[in-house]
Structure 1
Amino acid sequence: MEFKFSEEIIERYSAEIAMKEIGGKGLEKLINSTVGVIGAGGLGCPVIQILTAIGIGTIKIIDADVIKRSNLARQYLHYTSDINSYKIESIKRKMIDLNPNVNLKCYNTYLNKENVEELLSDCNFVIDASDNFATKFLINDACVYFDIPFVIAGVQRFIGQIF
């Protein structure tokens, strides 16, 4: 996708464009990137918010969970009015408002052997924010197979892990 910087884009990302480490070429690369995020909970929420804010062109969000009241204390993109809604629907509404230039592709499913190729093979980068080891191993295997850079992360109580 070829992208011309509109006045709105230049204004929105003026700080990034001014940074020698990013600049116009770096911004163009971000805008033309596809990042897959597996999990839209406690770890996925801040990841998705940051990716949206910095202007990743396409963000694929994969999660089939429904928001529960117990999620609200740690999943800050979900509100009381979102209880019983799907996490991807809640996040998509808010992220479109944050940055309407980002293409959000939301998949109301869990990642599995049958859909992993379809969902991840076109990604430039994958971020695991899932909450189970089976999914983490599947992401690892798929990303190695498709030669996609990835990060696997996890949070449980007061412990965080990044691989």
Structure 2
Amino acid sequence: MDYIEWFGTHFIGLFQAGGQVFVGFMTGIVPLLIVLLTFTYSLIAFIGEQRVTKAIQFSAKNRLLRYSLMPILSVLMLTNPMAYTFGRFVKEEQKPAFYDSVVSFLHPVTGLFPYANAGELFVFLGIANGVMDAGYNISSLSVRYFLAGIIIILMRGVITEMITKFLMRKEKL
């Protein structure tokens, strides 16, 4: 009989814990996400959608901006999975590298801008909990992820573009 009682208590306890986590999200992370999204869309409206589009078109012409600023803006403004649509501004042979940069930035952005890729939020929070348990600051982790992400997307974009061009030349021979 003790096993049945233990199972019943812990079975319901599992759902009670899930409910507590859900309420925590509704009072913590969900309002934060809504405010961040509102801020981002307000900023775009304030600057002007055409100006933002022109800035993106300009950055598509420069290799450094194409694999740093463009992926950052696309992830922050359009979020995942719409961020890939900025690829329409780059040449065909640059699309794989742009995609690589965007997809590589979807995790590092989560600490500072959780709305950008909500699917990665649980991964980041798991890592952040471990960092906080070790006595470190989560803000420092978020900023370091973001800065490291910028360096990584730039490197990945440039290297992937070089590989793509090499393979395209080889295919044409």
TM-score (norm 1): 0.28
More helix as a share of residues:
2
TM-score (norm 2): 0.26
More strand as a share of residues:
1
Larger Rg: 2
